[in-house]
Amino acid sequence: MTKEAFFQLTDKVKEGTANDAELELYNQYFNYFQVLEAWDEETMGVEDVRGQLLYESIDRAIGAPVPVRKLNTGWKKFVTVAAAVLLLAGSAVFFVYQQGQPAEQILSSINVASASTNDLIQLPDGSTVILSAGSQLKYASSFEGKAVREVFLTGKAFFDVKHRSNQPFIVRTGKVNTQVLGTAFDVDSRNERITVTVIRGKVVVNKGGQTLGTLTPNKQVVYNIAADQATLHDTDAEKTVAWREQDLVFKDITFDNAAVLLQERFDVKVIIGDKRLGQQHFTTTLFENQSLEDFLTLICDFNNAVYQYDEITKHVTIKPKN
């Protein structure tokens, strides 16, 4: 998107004249950053002055200079979105350079989990990822027409991958790649080592042309980056991924994908009684100690739905309100 087109988009959103497609595009950019709720003048400067300086800096980085415009009290939202575009492009180019990937593989989606909560993310193919607090995941906005589905992880994440026999799924963590067709596994690339743990299915972990391990459930490979050495272990995979039980932010997730996570977390069977409701998206937070009933009430009220819970069969049925 050019600078001029970006300015036009933000102006339309501000004026309330943006159509659905433009609003979706705006929201995609805006989701890359968390907007500051309060402005600290002591550490960040006078709001209007700092806003103008940020605007000019972003303007120079995006393209050729344009006439300086005075920013009103809504400048923070504009600068945040503009910065998202700028930093998104910068991060993608830097990452491509580091990985030695061709320019056409520049990534268009970045998710960064907050420092205190995990994020539940839905990928373009319907696969889901629980991104650990403080971690980052980069991927293309669509996997269609690509030989592989690839994502780039910094930090820690749990992946539940949709099966596609003709399109492998690859998690890239530095020089180590984890490849699957459809499975559930955990990848931790923190602390100068890369650990891959399999919950179900089969995973192949490699570095360059060398296979570090072919893993099945309750198997784990640990690669020490400094020593350039990998070791294989038996492990209790469920204990390894227990961190998923912490506070979890659902980011633009469908009911169908949320149902899978709720089934695992609360040991119930979730039935979505309407196809359209199953594809409906929502964003909210499931807290570590929150009960199933409280969470169901929250998401159903927000999405004009109702639920029934059978304590004997442990079946939850969710359907639209009549």
Give the amino acid at 243.
Answer: W
pLDDT at 238: 81
pLDDT band at 95 (very low <50, low <70, confident <90, very high): very low
109-240 and 247-320 agree in CATH topology: no
Terminal C-alpha separation, the chain: 43
pLDDT band at 20 (very low <50, low <70, confident <90, very high): low
Give the amino acid at 17.
Answer: T
pLDDT at 233 over 80: yes
Give the amino acid at 74.
Answer: G
Residue 198 CB coordination number (10 Å): 26
190 in Cβ contact with 222 (< 8 Å): no
Q: Which of residues 17 and 297 earns the better pLDDT score? A: 297
Predicted model pTM? 0.55
pLDDT at 125 over 70: yes
Q: How many CA atoms lie within 13 A of 47 on its CB side?
A: 12
Structure letter (DSSP) for residue 94: H
Q: Which CATH class is domain 109-240?
A: mainly beta
> Which of 73-87, 113-127, 149-163 has the highest average model confidence (pLDDT)?
149-163
Which tokens in the block code for residue 119?
Answer: 């994020």
Mean per-residue pLDDT for 184-197? 91
State the chain's mean pLDDT as an integer.
Answer: 74
pLDDT at 265: 83
In CATH, the number for domain 247-320 is: 3.55.50.30
pLDDT band at 102 (very low <50, low <70, confident <90, very high): very low
pLDDT at 215 over 60: yes
* Helix, strand, coil fractions of the chain, as percent rounded to 5: 35, 30, 35
> Which of 29-38, 44-53, 278-287 has the highest average model confidence (pLDDT)?
278-287
Mean per-residue pLDDT for 162-185? 91
pLDDT at 182: 78
pLDDT band at 100 (very low <50, low <70, confident <90, very high): very low
Give the amino acid at 105.
Answer: Q
Q: Where are the domains of the chain?
A: 3-101, 109-240, 247-320
